[in-house]
Amino acid sequence: MQAPRQLTVIGDSGVYGWGDRVGGGWCERLRLSWMQTPEMPLIYSLGVRGDGLENVAKRWEQEWERRGELRRQTPAGLLLAVGLNDSARVGRADGRRQLSVEAYRFGVEQLIRAMAPRTQVMVLGLTAVDEAAMPFAQCLWYDNASVAVYEAQLEEACLEADVPFLALHQAMQQETGWLGWIEPDGIHLNADGHHWIHQRVMHWPALLSWAGLEAQTQTTPLWS
């Protein structure tokens, strides 16, 4: 029997699933969904709370290489989800960013360039924030205008590298009641927010194609 492929999902607290007390986060929900079928890819969730692009760039290779399960095997897919923490301003609403827009764009390009020759890379966009709840942790200011800029940089870098990208920020804000999907801290999603991302990821053509599940786009409804 051929061993199933592995998908590593690497990023911040969104990947970790913080805030979802029902399903453990969108990534855990996806893992459980795929576990229903033995031949489905295995998912390794490598989310770390507070991580930004620089921390992910430092740790991705070693963590990815160690999830191959079999000797001389490495995961065939990697889903990257990082950037929200980089967009925050420090100390005050007009303070310096944790990572400048220019440095973020350059870092994303470098990271994708390092990953793409070794595995199938896919990239997830950034979620919206509740600006009325700022500051986060009494020192960080997140705002949706900044998040939109960082997600745009992420998308453009993916387009240039021909890497699949799934936008989230604008789509989330177009949903009725989206502010109710965010935890009181203003940045983490609750169970409803993670459910929304899970549904979008579950029906993302790029991920379905990688997993060999194209047919489900024709037979499975978008919303549960």
3-state secondary structure the chain: CCCCCEEEEEECHHHHCCCCCCCCCHHHHHHHHHHCCCCCCEEEEEECCCCCHHHHHHHHHHHHHCCCCCCCCCCCEEEEECCCHHHCEECCCCCCECCCHHHHHHHHHHHHHHHCCCCEEEEECCCCCCHHHCCECCCEECCHHHHHHHHHHHHHHHHHHCCCEECCHHHHHCCCCHHHHECCCCCCECHHHHHHHHHHHHCCHHHHHHHCCCCHHHHCCCCC
Hey, what are 54's tokens? Answer: 């620089």
Put the strands of the sheet holding 165-166 in their side by side order.
42-47, 6-11, 77-81, 120-124, 165-166
pLDDT one-digit tens code per residue, 115-162:
999 999 999 999 999 999 999 999 999 999 999 999 999 999 999 999
State the pLDDT at residue 2. Answer: 66
The topology (CATH level 3) of 6-219 is Rossmann fold (3.40.50)
Largest Cα separation within the chain, whole Å, is: 57
Q: Note the pTM of the prediction, 2 decimals.
A: 0.92
Q: Where are the domains of the chain?
A: 6-219
Per the prediction, the chain carries an average pLDDT of: 93
How does 27-46 read in b/e, with b if 16+ C-beta sit within 10 Å?
Answer: bbbbbeebeeeeebbbbbbb
| Rounded distance between C-alpha atoms, residue 103 and residue 33, angstroms | 36
pLDDT at position 221: 36
| Average pLDDT rounded to a whole number, residues 103-110 | 98
